[in-house]
Structure 1
Amino acid sequence: MEEEDGATNNELLLVAAKQDSEDILEDIFTQPDTYDINYADSIGNTALHYAAQYGSLSALELILQQPNVNIDARNRLLQETPLHKAVQYTDDPSVSYEIVQLLIDYGADPRIQNKNRQTPIRLVDSGNQELKSLLQKATLALQVSFFNSLAITR
């Protein structure tokens, strides 16, 4: 499946992420030397950005399982990470929550600011306290971990 209708596996990777197409992703992932998991389009979005942006939970899970995926890749337009995209997905708050939780579980950093100096929590819909709480806890956990790493042991 290296090329289908002229599309490379890198291009198909982005389309499959947008459309939550597990079949296409699984097929691509069986051909390890034919794609770049961190391939970005002209505006810098990776498959992870698109899966998060479009609420493609199944695609996101498959992508996260691939080696060397850059979970905090920033796009060119607004310097947003997949986590920034995930918090802006409002079609289904429960899917958005699951996507954000998965990204955090895989190591996404909720402290990264976009071009407008906004962290993902600043982009959360004002009524979505559950998602804000999840991001606050993740941020706090990273800060505690950082300060613990600075602690001097006797």
Structure 2
Amino acid sequence: MADEEGASPRELILEACRRNNTSLLEETIADLESTAAKAKKKPTEHVAETLNKAFDGVGNGCLHIAATYGSYEVLDVLLDQEGLEIDELDHLEKDTPLHKAVRYVNSLDKSDWATAGHPIVEILLDAGCDPRIRNKAKLKSVELVDPRNTELRSILQKGEYAMTAGGDVVEEDDDGPTGSASDSE
């Protein structure tokens, strides 16, 4: 078909991840949903399948690429997609997107860690990425952190603790008095 010339959906997704181009990503996702609907497929499942199979030439998935390039806005869009595999391992180092995010933070100037780097790690943790997964070198993402970056180490340790606790962590609420005492007695 003549109208299918140009970049494939996979290529468009990966380019959007490299360039932090949310418009391109959202347009590609909309096209995938439209194609699925015309083919009588479930749009959500078709989008998730396409995203989960979008790898570059060396085996990095779309989340790996977005994390590698610090593409926060694209990560935000991707992580909203139902069915997206968030702890996919790349083909070379067996890194998760969280490993790639830590490597990205390490590549930044120290003055940019908190503003440009930490949010990339935090959005992945908030989405449920598992900081306990070890890569090919048997390292967890926290073990890749620049030793000077104590704040990032703390963020990852808290994420690991929260995941290990499995939801048993109770957030303290300081909205008012606590206890079983009653003022009516």
Residue 101 of structure 1: aligned partner: 122
1:126 pairs with one of 119, 130, 147: 147
2:99 pairs with one of 48, 65, 84: 84
Provide the TM-score with structure 1 as the length reference: 0.87
Residue 112 of structure 1: aligned partner: 133
Q: Identity rate of aligned residues, in percent?
A: 40
Q: Distance in 1 between matches of 2:65 and 2:116?
A: 14
Q: Deviations over 1:79-137 (max 9, x none)?
A: 00100000111323122211111111111000000000000001111111111000001
Q: Deviations over 1:45-69 (max 9, x none)?
A: 1111111000111111111111111
Residue pairs, 1:5-154, within 5 angstroms: 6-31=6-31, 32=33, 33=36, 36-38=50-52, 39-89=54-104, 90-91=107-108, 92-93=112-113, 94-145=115-166
Q: Distance in 2 between matches of 1:22 and 1:114?
A: 29
For residue 23 of structure 1, report the CA deviation from its aligned partner.
1.2
Root-mean-square deviation over aligned CA pairs: 1.8
| Number of positions where the alignment pairs a residue of Structure 1 with one of Structure 2 | 145
Q: Distance in 1 between matches of 2:58 and 2:82?
A: 23
Q: Distance in 1 between matches of 2:4 and 2:57?
A: 19
Q: Which runs of 5+ in 1 are unaligned?
A: 149-154
